[in-house]
Structure 1
Amino acid sequence: MAGVRRRRALGLLAFGASAATAGALWHTSSPPGAEPVAAGWGKAPTPKPAPAGPAGPAPVIGENEATGTAWPPKGSRRPGVDDRHRQIQGYASATSVAPGQAIDFHIAVDPAGPYRITIVRLGWYGGAGARELLTSPELTGGPQPVPLPEPDGGALICRWPVSWTLRVPDDWTSGLYQAIFTSAEGWRGYAPFVVRDDRRAAALCVVLPFTTYQAYNQWPMDGTIGRSLYYGYQDGALNYERRSLTVSFDRPYAYDGRPKHLDRDHHFIRWAERQGYDVAYATTEDLHSGRLDPARHQGIVFCGHDEYWSEPMRVAADRAVAAGTSLAFFAANSVYWHIRLNPSADGRPERLITCHKTAPDPGADTAGPTTYWRKVAHDGSRAEQGLLGIQYNGIVTDPQPLVVSSAGHWFWSGTGLADGDRIPGLVGGEADGRYSGLPRPTGVATTLAASPYRTRQGQQRLQRTHLYETPQGGLVFAAGTLFWTMALDRPKHRDARVERATANLLDRMIRD
């Protein structure tokens, strides 16, 4: 894509267009200012002209000039929704939708009464973090049943009626959206979804890991019924042996509906839109189905905890790399579990996730059993390291410094870092390393960091941040830590050196 350039000065986005389209009923609040970058830690990314194409600036640039509202929302009169009382909860009929298409919301309200649904888009917006777009008419809802586990796989599938249908306006910008359900009593629930852009190929496409959101979803966390791909309940306690083998998107996310790990994605989204990158958004289900064609973009960004991958997702990523498309994984423990994605009983695609993990997989097909990717093939030939260059090697007991390697590489240009310098607290959550005896990708590989840490089991391990340049001219980056995007945006964690290195990478991915 010729002529793609990006970025405006940090914190200088002007506020222009109104925050609401027709039907918006809530007032917006003044956006707070940007959080300061830690002084003396490298050099922040240099402002550059906003990206433009034949039709003018990238849509995300104009979108972020609109007045925002604070995210997460402030001023609720109530504590958070809980899964025992389920004051107001709901789910969307799809993880992504394009402008002009419709998406349904299924809502339960207890006690019965009126409520409204407000739609917001998450982004930068001068530091506010979101923009309100519209609010539904007043609706009336009531309690809905919690389903019993399905006999085959244990999925909890809510078959609640449609409460409200949204036709996505043609002018909505691609992004991560939240539906906010607010009852007359002041309770709030949420349901995330993505608006794609199927008409225009942005330079970068950010893939949101909805498969991983759902894998971790323990709804309802009531001590009895709730199930995820990790746990079920036994005698009121979470128990691995009681986990589901299949989970459904047709249910709310636990508690107030904001998925675990979504904040990692929002950190990157805020930063990338603050910098003015030409970005569009999609979901893991879009990559699985082919609705997202990586070849349409110069780079694909997996910014969050992207742990659960189907065979079609892996094939799409492998083909993208072979064709010269660049990939960036800004987390760790990526492409770890092999899953199957199946339609719902009424035919809606990608509504059921199956992952047997350590159990025998009677549904195994030509793609292999739903277990670790490194064990899908007996010889380890499908290990995630073959795509990423590194792979998961442990849970980090306490955050550790990232120890810089190859400081003369263009990735670290402008950061002021030297080999052996330590970026405090950047290795955390989970980490990746290199495994001998497993496949490595073809290309020129560079270890950008090699950081010792100790696992929960007391084992000493080495985390790596890794980059390789493919023979076709693409790049594949793996951060090797779950804390990378925190350093881009989270207060008290931001580090200008990490921002600069991340900008160096994305700039190289989208260069002419």
Structure 2
Amino acid sequence: MSMRIVGYSDRLSVEHGDEIAFMVSTEETAYHAEMVRLIHGDDNPAGPGFKSVHIPSSVDGEHEGLLQVLRPGSYVRVPHREGLETQGSFTIQLWMWPTTPDRGAQTLFAQRGASGDGYALSLENGYLTLRIGETELTVQSRVEARVWHFVSVVFDANTGDVQLMFEPICATRSGTTNSARKSTTGHTHSPTDILIGGQELLDSGELVVSSFYNGKIEAPRLYDRALDDTELAVLREGRDPLPQAGLIAAWDFSRDISTGSVTDSSGHEFHGHAVNMPMRAATGRNWDGKETSWRHVPDQYGAIHFHDDDLSDANWKQSIQWKVPDELPSGVYALHVTAGDAEDFIPFTVRPGLGKPTAKIVLLLPTFSYLAYANERLLDTVEGMGHVDYPRQGQDRYTVENRLLSLYDTHSDGSGVCYSSRLRPIVNMRPKCVMQWLDEGRGSPHGLNADLYLVDWLYEHGFDFDVVTDEDLHHEGARLLEPYNVVLTGTHSEYWSNEMIDAAQAYLHLGGRMMYLGGNGMYWVTQLDPETGASVEVRRRGPSTRMWEPEPGEAHLSSTGELGGIWRYRGRAPQSWLGVGFAAETSGHGRPYVRQPDSFEPDAAFVFDGIDGDELIGDLPNLVQTYGAAGYEFDRADFRLGTPAHTKILATASDFSDAAQAACEEIMTSDSQQSGSVNPLVKTDMVLLDYPDGGAVFTPGAIAWCGCLSQNGYDNNVSRVTSNVLRAFASDERDFRAAAANTVAQDVTA
């Protein structure tokens, strides 16, 4: 059964006194809501089970239900005002690069009212088609996928003739003009908005945008006269000066690439705005491959890539608004909504105000990674990835039914998804939800649900802590972390921006301490949308372990212009400042750690206080994978990639099965020596790295680590190691090792 109640919030992080809005959709006429603090999200009976605490609030109780729908599909809207419509003759000209030309009706350019007045230019089952009034005109030659086409519509009101033409332009040929002519008496005037990439149509009596186009469009122009063949040739060849007489608007997509703004360069200011974030910084028909950064040659990046399944803002009506009470402790919370036996948790964090810490410990939740994995649909094709079938959750079905996508998925036209927004339901960012299918198809928590293992452990051990998010760190930098003695990361902090790395490194150099309690961290170059602050962007440039590849020339982020891919190739490999970086991943069992010589040195002894010297670390059941503290995705030290020479390698997990495979960027040539049983680099290193002025990093380098924390009633050596380091790192003393020794002495005395 799919989700009968679902929602999202307008933000993921709030402070005391902030108001947070929740958008809820349900099939029922009413639903119940209450606030809860989330503690442990995994309901697996092998662990402590689901835990939450009700927080009495003004929103508790029954609320009127409302069914709200998702409407994916990207387009440009140019609002109508006087002078935008065509009264008589007109010309439309644009360039198109279709990706699914044979797929139904796809609107390229339209100014058409619900009554059928005006015009609409579209692709219909592979053929270029124009509707003008009641007249329909189709070119009887098929357009080609992934080829640039020069397209024009010329209507002469004096003769009533309309000409529709396209010409494919590619390396092997050009000049093949395909056209159709027809006489029409249809009335062309429609005082409505112009839409590029979609069209407003009636759906059950409601006017909605549909008929979305898949592919690139470049340089659409509108004239209030019929251009002749010579003038069209000037446009086709891109020669200057362009014909300006009668020009109504010329939309230049190479401008304002980092925003949703669409600029009219005609001087008439018929500017538009992109809806649902179609991909910007897309190569145009004139890209020559000499430069691969849109910032260097913006005129060669004059295209926008539209998709029929883009969705940046669900734009649902607000259902509940809540003001965060001043007395509410920092933590992870959720609006729990129920309708009959259906439920949803809409999570958010409460953080203290900047410079107003309430504890010495802060947990940095990896919300950028939550967004990257948001509504991941790899599970929908899990059989094709070599795994067995599994009982699908309601969240999985909702994702598929509503065409929701993550940064791991591809659009319906096969291009990679590079933007992910929080202004829509993120149904796998939930307690009780499993995402990754490991150990022969067993469901496993990931993201928020796995990070709640750490939240639960902190509560169980009585540690006071604050909670902040990636988004907070991106905006506020090192000053967000400075008041804290130690920063804990989540289990999979994979997606970091340049601003976040700068902030974390500055904090460490000022004497701050970090416990990086995950694996595959600080890996992808990621950026927050500068315009809305609600979405993140990734361009999966190789070499890297990736699910898709950008088109040639499109590896630079539209948000900042910086080169995408992984930080390793930007000179900021995580090994250089955390001591370890991504090494391998496995869908099979994890492994325990074996202590290494560095762990027996006096300045590392505090980590293993209370643990026998020959004891395997994490030789335990695991809630992420069936067994072993080192698993799923894991990291190792690599001095070639910048691991500092003074890094202490405390323990190593190795001897993985062949289900473990080296990261793609580690493989120079194709061979059969990349699996756990034969590749000595398929391993995990637990390290301790000192920084100046008492700063330090500790990491076990594995996503699965926190999945062992609760085993044996929280009394196990993974829990002990984590507690030993946290108590030392949280101390006020500059010499945290001395603080650890004092703590041990006090424990012995007690």
Structure 2: which amino acid aligns with 1:113?
T
Q: Does 2:113 match 1:189? A: no
The unaligned stretches of length 5 or more in structure 1 are 1-80
CA distance in 2, matches of 1:492, 1:245: 42
1:399–1:493 CA distance, 2 compared to 1 (3 A): farther
Q: Does 2:363 match 1:206? A: yes
TM superposition shift of 1:402: 1.5
CA contact (8 A) 1:147 1:157 kept: no
1:232–1:221 CA distance, 2 compared to 1 (3 A): farther
Greater CA deviation, 152-161 or 465-474?
A: 152-161
Match of 1:264 in 2: 450
1:75-122 residue CA offsets vs partner (Å, 9 max, x unmatched): xxxxxx62xxx4111001111101111000011112x41112211112
Structure 2: which amino acid aligns with 1:305?
H
CA contact (8 A) 2:567 2:573 kept: yes
CA distance in 1, matches of 2:471, 2:55: 25
Match of 1:479 in 2: 700
TM superposition shift of 1:410: 2.3
1:395–1:223 CA distance, 2 compared to 1 (3 A): farther
CA distance in 2, matches of 1:252, 1:230: 17
CA contact (8 A) 2:369 2:492 kept: yes
TM superposition shift of 1:495: 5.4
Alignment RMSD (CA, Å): 2.6
1:420–1:368 CA distance, 2 compared to 1 (3 A): farther
1:412-444 residue CA offsets vs partner (Å, 9 max, x unmatched): 3333332574532111111101224222347x4
CA distance in 1, matches of 2:707, 2:568: 28
Match of 2:5 in 1: 88
Match of 1:231 in 2: 409
TM superposition shift of 1:201: 4.3
1:161–1:334 CA distance, 2 compared to 1 (3 A): same
CA contact (8 A) 2:491 2:704 kept: no
Match of 1:161 in 2: 317
1:333–1:128 CA distance, 2 compared to 1 (3 A): closer
CA distance in 2, matches of 1:103, 1:428: 37
Which of 123, 127, 133 is the equivalent residue of 2:39?
Answer: 123
Question: Counterpart of 1:172 in 2: which secondary structure?
Answer: coil
CA distance in 1, matches of 2:519, 2:555: 26
Question: Counterpart of 1:386 in 2: which secondary structure?
Answer: helix
Match of 2:372 in 1: 215
CA distance in 2, matches of 1:473, 1:145: 53
Match of 1:38 in 2: none
CA contact (8 A) 2:32 2:338 kept: yes
Q: Does 2:509 match 1:322? A: yes
Question: Counterpart of 1:431 in 2: which secondary structure?
Answer: strand
CA contact (8 A) 2:584 2:683 kept: no
Match of 1:395 in 2: 585
CA contact (8 A) 1:487 1:495 kept: no
Alignment of 1:17-56 (within 5 A): none
Structure 1: which amino acid aligns with 2:567?
W
CA contact (8 A) 2:374 2:429 kept: no
CA contact (8 A) 2:511 2:694 kept: yes
TM superposition shift of 1:244: 1.4
1:179-210 residue CA offsets vs partner (Å, 9 max, x unmatched): 11112x23101111000011334201101111
Structure 2: which amino acid aligns with 1:374?
R
Identity of aligned residues (%): 25
TM superposition shift of 1:141: 2.4
Question: Counterpart of 1:138 in 2: which secondary structure?
Answer: strand
Match of 1:113 in 2: 29
CA distance in 2, matches of 1:417, 1:364: 53
Match of 2:466 in 1: 280
1:133–1:487 CA distance, 2 compared to 1 (3 A): same
TM superposition shift of 1:212: 1.0
TM superposition shift of 1:148: 1.3
Match of 1:440 in 2: 643
Match of 2:55 in 1: 133
CA distance in 2, matches of 1:298, 1:256: 29
CA contact (8 A) 2:430 2:448 kept: no
Which is bigger in relative contact order (C-alpha 8 A, separation at least 6)? 1
TM-score (norm 2): 0.52
TM superposition shift of 1:304: 2.1
Question: Counterpart of 1:334 in 2: which secondary structure?
Answer: coil
Q: Does 2:18 match 1:101? A: yes
1:492–1:223 CA distance, 2 compared to 1 (3 A): farther
Structure 1: which amino acid aligns with 2:342?
W
TM superposition shift of 1:168: 0.7
Which of 331, 343, 356 is the equivalent residue of 2:539?
Answer: 356
TM superposition shift of 1:334: 0.8
CA contact (8 A) 1:175 1:194 kept: yes
Structure 1: which amino acid aligns with 2:419?
T
TM superposition shift of 1:266: 1.0
CA contact (8 A) 1:119 1:179 kept: yes
TM superposition shift of 1:357: 1.0
CA contact (8 A) 2:429 2:449 kept: no
Which of 50, 66, 74 is the equivalent residue of 1:142?
Answer: 66
TM superposition shift of 1:367: 7.4
Greater CA deviation, 422-431 or 403-412?
A: 403-412
TM superposition shift of 1:123: 3.4
1:394–1:495 CA distance, 2 compared to 1 (3 A): farther
1:150–1:369 CA distance, 2 compared to 1 (3 A): farther
The unaligned stretches of length 5 or more in structure 2 are 41-47, 76-277, 280-309, 377-397, 434-445, 542-549, 620-627, 662-673, 733-750
CA contact (8 A) 1:412 1:501 kept: yes
Match of 2:664 in 1: none
Match of 2:300 in 1: none
CA distance in 2, matches of 1:434, 1:310: 22
Question: Counterpart of 2:506 in 1: which secondary structure?
Answer: helix
CA distance in 2, matches of 1:89, 1:256: 12
TM superposition shift of 1:250: 0.6
Question: Counterpart of 2:407 in 1: which secondary structure?
Answer: coil
CA contact (8 A) 2:607 2:725 kept: no
CA contact (8 A) 1:155 1:246 kept: no
Match of 2:243 in 1: none
CA distance in 1, matches of 2:530, 2:343: 29
